[in-house]
Amino acid sequence: MTNKIYKITKVFPDEEKYGLTNQLRRAIISVCSNLAEGSSRTHSKEQTQFYQIAFSSLMEALNQIIISFDLEYLDQQLYNILRTDAEKCSRLINSLRNSILKNG
C-alpha cells in the first residue's frame, strides 16, 4: 500500500505538497513502522500497543483517502481499490493484535 500511496500522491496538486500529501504519506509510513517495532518487542503488552498505534495510523490514512476522494484528487476506481486495501490491512492488524492478546 505504501508504494501505491507514493505514486498516487505524486499527482496531487502542488498546494497539497505540505498538507494532505505529506499527512497521507506519513500515516502510511507510521503503519509499517509501528508493525515493525511491535514485532521486535518481547512483551505482549508492548506488542499490542504498537499494533494498536499501527491500526490508528491506518484509520488516519483511510480518512485522508476519503478526503482526497471528496476533493476529487482520486477517481472512484482508485478510491475503491485503496479503501479495499485499507480494510484488508485493518483486518490483518486486528487479527495480529487479537492473537497476541489471546496467546500473550
For residue 61, which phi and psi values (nearest 5 degrees)? -65, -40
Q: What is the mean pLDDT of the segment spanning 67-89?
A: 96
Which residue, chain included where needed, has cell 509499517?
32
Confidence of residue 4 (pLDDT cuts 50, 70, 90): confident
Which residue, chain included where needed, has cell 492488524?
93
Give the span between the Cα atoms of 54 and 75, in whole angstroms.
Answer: 26
Topology of domain 2-6+16-103 in CATH is de novo design (two linked rop proteins) (1.20.1440)
Predicted confidence at residue 77, as pLDDT, reads 96
Q: pLDDT for 37-64, tens place per residue? A: 999 999 999 999 999 999 999 999 999 9
pLDDT at 70 over 90: yes
Give the span between the Cα atoms of 83 and 69, in whole angstroms.
Answer: 11
Q: What is the average pLDDT value for the chain, to the nearest integer?
A: 94
Is 0.85 topped by the overall pTM? yes
Q: What is the mean pLDDT of the segment spanning 73-96?
A: 96
What single DSSP character describes residue 40? Answer: T
Predicted confidence at residue 104, as pLDDT, reads 64
CA angle 39, 44, 45 (to 5 degrees): 110
Which residue, chain included where needed, has cell 471528496?
70
